[in-house]
Chain A
Amino acid sequence: MKLYSHAPFVRGGERTPRARMSFLFAALTGIGVLSLYYNGPRLLVLTAISLCMAAAFDLLVCLLAGQRLRVTSESMLQAVLLTLFCPATVHLLLPAVGVAVMMILKQLLRMFFRQAPHISCLCAGWCFLAFCFPANFFTYAKPGVEGWPPIAMTVAVEKVASPTELLRGDAIASDFSVIDVLLGNLAGPMGACGAVVLIACIAFLCFHYRTALRTAVGAVLAVTVCALLFPRVPQELLLSVLFEVCGGSLLLCAAFALQVPGAVPLTHGGQWMLGIVWGLLTVVGRRVLPIEQAAPLALLLLTPFNFGFDLLRGQLLRGWRKFRLLGRKSV
């Protein structure tokens, strides 16, 4: 067999990792500004603490390994995202604790398996906070800066149900209108505000690179179809579908968590498969588990199967090609 030496000698103008990261941070700024409008300066303080924690870990690892000191953009991205998954009323140090868990896990995985998928670490950090501090992590209040001093460790607020929690009742009686859900004036994680802005972020990112669009669309489609076929509040079908799709961090994950390197399978076919399975698992999680924010958990469970989705797609295509060429001879 002929072995090709250094091909190719010309390169396509694909976006470099750095360019992709810069687009991602630009999109994050968009949602950050909206969240700042609703949640006030506490968001900035929480984000700053998380970023400091991530940077400190990166530097510590470099020091211990005797490498040049540097802070990776992936760690920064993960820290910001984990903070955006928290409500604005969260304990001031809680996101930083989640970041610490995430960074420790990353190093352990690197040590034992030589690889640490960023998305798994992020979802694991989320799960740690969700399962160890559920009271604080899932206490949502109506957005508003009043009574949320930016640097107070804890904030006492009146708990308000998030849109997906409202679906547990027989009828949807809430303080939120459809406009509130779309524009972000609702209870929930800091980053999950404003479905319109999140969709705009997805569109912006897809315009620049198309990696995760299929997964996002697949998941939203799966959730929508399930919500239409098996509505939780049949009397208010459309509101029920809207809450199902726009609530529970699904869009936040679709917009940002999927953009974390390694979050989705490599191939387009695999990405569709992941999206659909992720959507279905999210629906199942919401209805079976008492957790409304099932999207990150479902993503964590599915990430190890990304390679499997790619492989399955490859095998299906191989089979299809063989089937098409059946009986056709070449020389």
Chain B
Amino acid sequence: MLFFQKQGIVSIPQELPRDLTVRALPAPQTATLPLRVGGQARFCAPADRQLSLGTRLVAGEDGFGIYSPFDGMLGDLSRIRHPLLGEVPAAAVLVDACVQPPTAQTVALEQKPTEQEIVNAARVCGIIDETDGMRLDEKLLALRKKGVALLVGDACEDQPGCFAALCVLRQYGAQAELGLQLACLATGAQQGFFVRFGDADERFDTLPLQTQVHALGCQYPALPERRVQQESKQPFGSIGVQALAALYRALAFREPQLGLAVSIGGEILDMPRCYFVPFGTALSHAVQACGIHYPSYTCVSGGALRGTKVSDAMPMSIGVTGVYVQENAPEPAAKPCFGCGACANVCPQNLLPIHIMKSRRRGHKMKLKLLHPEDCIGCGACSYVCPSGIDLTRFVRLAAQDAAKEAVR
């Protein structure tokens, strides 16, 4: 058994909403479905453009599929600039009805699947790992090739306002557990367990699971990968809980991945909630469902500490599991640094963010080399604690980008 030491620097108690159910979202009127496959693919929508739930829209040359999460009429195909995916092909859909949250029931598989069958199911059902945006079939093969002995089901969202993974663990824990067993089978890992952010909580500690759920405490950043690496001598890999549950459903029910559980959090919402959001639904639709009365607000995809500001017109896609909504107030101007050192002491990578920022500004290349900005993991802890309100994370990431460019040259 692994024992996780207390780590992380900023104390962020997760204030979870009472309601941790993955709810159904009312069907939107229209949707824009991103169709990114990552390789050669063929558009294979029906000729009459009539869509029903699960209609295959795209077939990758290796069999990877993208399916319609809507009943409705297919509109134009175009290329859109997605804030997180970049430029991708997308299909407009006139929606009649949308997919509901998957069933939480489990059934015994008729026979034990082989590794190849598991990988194929992940590929055909178009499953993406929500933690890193990687195709699950490719990830399983990569993990097998590396010879992992340990597989971690990652339910660790340590950002304020993000709780989708916890909702999934609670509602679909049994499916995620079976998915973890299947992933272990496919990768050759001998052991698997779950990790989650937060302290002891009976809502998760009393789940009827055989697999252990490690609580990593409320210290941000939780850094589950690093902590597993420190505690275990074995090579390991990690997969998101949503992908694991989807993997089980793919084998048990042949169910493709049509959406993701997304937590919509933030203090200005009436009811922060977790919705099962079909891919292609506009973010504003989910935000409105949580009750918001502000004429203008800011959406941050990925959480309040590491996230990216996005427009609420953004179509939801793979990789978005948490959205933080805040009032659209102007950012207060940063004050000069007064050398309190909070940023340096909070950095989990032991960097000196303010020195990195100053060295970059002054063009001290030698000094920058010594400061290793490339080690930054973008956790945002330095900006979070800075009393002068300096956005250090941004400058450190820019310095890291410069260093990467320099290295290529």
Q: Does A147 sit at the interface, judged by CB under 8 A?
A: no
Q: Does A8 sit at the interface, judged by CB under 8 A?
A: yes
Over the window 373-390 of chain B, the binary record of Cβ atoms lying under 8 Å from chain A Cβ atoms (1 yes, 0 no) is 000001010011111110
* Inter-chain contacts of A4 with B (CB < 8 A): 306-308, 378, 380, 393-394, 397
A9 touches B300 (CB 8 A): yes
* Inter-chain contacts of A211 with B (CB < 8 A): 340-341
* Inter-chain contacts of B384 with A (CB < 8 A): 8, 10-12
Q: Of the listed stretches A134-142, A157-165, A281-289, A309-317, name the one at the interface; the rest are far from the partner chain.
A: A309-317
* Inter-chain contacts of B398 with A (CB < 8 A): 3
Residues of chain A in range 261-284 having any CB-CB distance to chain B below 8 Å: 261-268, 271
Q: How far is the CA of A85 from the CA of B182 in the complex (A)?
A: 73
Q: Does A1 sit at the interface, judged by CB under 8 A?
A: yes
Greatest chain B CB density within 10 A among A3, A15, A261, A262 is at A3
Q: Closest residue to B335 on the A side, CB-wise?
A: A17
Over the window 13-41 of chain A, the binary record of Cβ atoms lying under 8 Å from chain B Cβ atoms (1 yes, 0 no) is 01111001000000000000000000000
* Inter-chain contacts of B229 with A (CB < 8 A): 325, 328, 330
Closest CB in chain B relative to A73 CB, distance in Å? 10
Q: Does A324 sit at the interface, judged by CB under 8 A?
A: yes
With A310-B352, A328-B229 already in contact, the answer to whether A9 and B340 are too (CB < 8 A) is no
Q: Does A5 sit at the interface, judged by CB under 8 A?
A: yes
* Inter-chain contacts of B385 with A (CB < 8 A): 12, 14
Q: Closest residue to B306 on the A side, CB-wise?
A: A7
With A16-B387, A331-B148, A331-B235 already in contact, the answer to whether A9 and B397 are too (CB < 8 A) is no
Q: Does A66 sit at the interface, judged by CB under 8 A?
A: no
Closest CB in chain A relative to B220 CB, distance in Å? 10
* Inter-chain contacts of B236 with A (CB < 8 A): 330-331
Q: Interface size class for chain A?
A: 35 or more
Over the window 351-393 of chain B, the binary record of Cβ atoms lying under 8 Å from chain A Cβ atoms (1 yes, 0 no) is 1101100000010000000111000001010011111110101
A266 touches B344 (CB 8 A): yes
Residues of chain A in range 301-331 having any CB-CB distance to chain B below 8 Å: 307, 310-311, 313-314, 317-318, 321, 324-325, 327-331
Q: Does B230 sit at the interface, judged by CB under 8 A?
A: yes
With A211-B340, A267-B344, A317-B350 already in contact, the answer to whether A10 and B305 are too (CB < 8 A) is yes
Closest CB in chain B relative to A24 CB, distance in Å? 11
* Inter-chain contacts of A1 with B (CB < 8 A): 397, 400-401, 404
Q: How far is the CA of A268 from the CA of B350 in the complex (A)?
A: 11
Q: Does A6 sit at the interface, judged by CB under 8 A?
A: yes
B370 touches A311 (CB 8 A): yes
Q: Does A68 sit at the interface, judged by CB under 8 A?
A: no
* In-complex Cβ contact of A12 among B10, B351, B370 (8 A): B10
A3 touches B344 (CB 8 A): no
Q: Does B23 sit at the interface, judged by CB under 8 A?
A: no
With A3-B398, A8-B383 already in contact, the answer to whether A324 and B308 are too (CB < 8 A) is no
B350 touches A6 (CB 8 A): no
Over the window 203-232 of chain A, the binary record of Cβ atoms lying under 8 Å from chain B Cβ atoms (1 yes, 0 no) is 000000101000000000000000000000
With A314-B352, A318-B350, A330-B236 already in contact, the answer to whether A268 and B143 are too (CB < 8 A) is no
A265 touches B341 (CB 8 A): yes
Q: How far is the CA of A275 from the CA of B253 in the complex (A)?
A: 65
B397 touches A3 (CB 8 A): yes
Q: Does B331 sit at the interface, judged by CB under 8 A?
A: yes
B307 touches A267 (CB 8 A): no
Closest CB in chain B relative to A34 CB, distance in Å? 28
Q: Does B338 sit at the interface, judged by CB under 8 A?
A: yes
A311 touches B380 (CB 8 A): no
Q: How far is the CA of A311 from the CA of B367 in the complex (A)?
A: 10
* Inter-chain contacts of A262 with B (CB < 8 A): 338-339
Q: How far is the CA of A8 from the CA of B308 in the complex (A)?
A: 9
* Inter-chain contacts of B306 with A (CB < 8 A): 4, 7-8
Q: Does B409 sit at the interface, judged by CB under 8 A?
A: no
A261 touches B339 (CB 8 A): yes
Over the window 167-198 of chain A, the binary record of Cβ atoms lying under 8 Å from chain B Cβ atoms (1 yes, 0 no) is 00000000000000000000000000000000
* Inter-chain contacts of A2 with B (CB < 8 A): 308, 378
A17 touches B387 (CB 8 A): yes
Q: Closest residue to B237 on the A side, CB-wise?
A: A331
Greatest chain B CB density within 10 A among A2, A3, A8, A16 is at A8
Q: How far is the CA of A9 from the CA of B265 in the complex (A)?
A: 13
B401 touches A3 (CB 8 A): yes
* Inter-chain contacts of B59 with A (CB < 8 A): none
Q: How far is the CA of A318 from the CA of B372 in the complex (A)?
A: 10
Closest CB in chain B relative to A278 CB, distance in Å? 17
Closest CB in chain A relative to B237 CB, distance in Å? 4
Greatest chain B CB density within 10 A among A2, A10, A211 is at A10
* Inter-chain contacts of A17 with B (CB < 8 A): 335, 338, 340, 387-388
Q: Does B53 sit at the interface, judged by CB under 8 A?
A: no
Q: Closest residue to B305 on the A side, CB-wise?
A: A8
Q: Does B298 sit at the interface, judged by CB under 8 A?
A: yes
* Inter-chain contacts of A114 with B (CB < 8 A): 362
B307 touches A7 (CB 8 A): yes
Closest CB in chain B relative to A9 CB, distance in Å? 5
With A9-B298, A328-B233, A329-B235 already in contact, the answer to whether A20 and B340 are too (CB < 8 A) is yes
Q: How far is the CA of A261 from the CA of B335 in the complex (A)?
A: 14
* Inter-chain contacts of B389 with A (CB < 8 A): 11
* Inter-chain contacts of B308 with A (CB < 8 A): 2, 4-5, 7
* In-complex Cβ contact of B341 among A267, A311, A321 (8 A): A267
Q: How far is the CA of A325 from the CA of B10 in the complex (A)?
A: 24
Residues of chain B in range 224-238 having any CB-CB distance to chain A below 8 Å: 225, 228-230, 232-233, 235-237
With A1-B404, A268-B345 already in contact, the answer to whether A314 and B351 are too (CB < 8 A) is yes
Q: How far is the CA of A27 from the CA of B274 in the complex (A)?
A: 50
Q: Closest residue to A264 on the B side, CB-wise?
A: B341
A307 touches B397 (CB 8 A): no
9 contacts between A and B (CB under 8 A): A3-B401, A7-B393, A8-B305, A8-B383, A211-B340, A265-B341, A268-B341, A314-B351, A325-B229
Interface residues of A (CB under 8 A from B): 1-12, 14-17, 20, 114, 209, 211, 261-268, 271, 307, 310-311, 313-314, 317-318, 321, 324-325, 327-331
Closest 5 CB pairs of A and B: A266-B341, A266-B344, A14-B387, A329-B235, A7-B380
Assuming A2-B378, A318-B372, A331-B142, what are 12 further A-B pairs, CB within 8 angstroms?
Answer: A6-B331, A8-B305, A8-B384, A9-B305, A12-B384, A17-B387, A314-B371, A325-B230, A328-B229, A330-B229, A330-B236, A331-B235
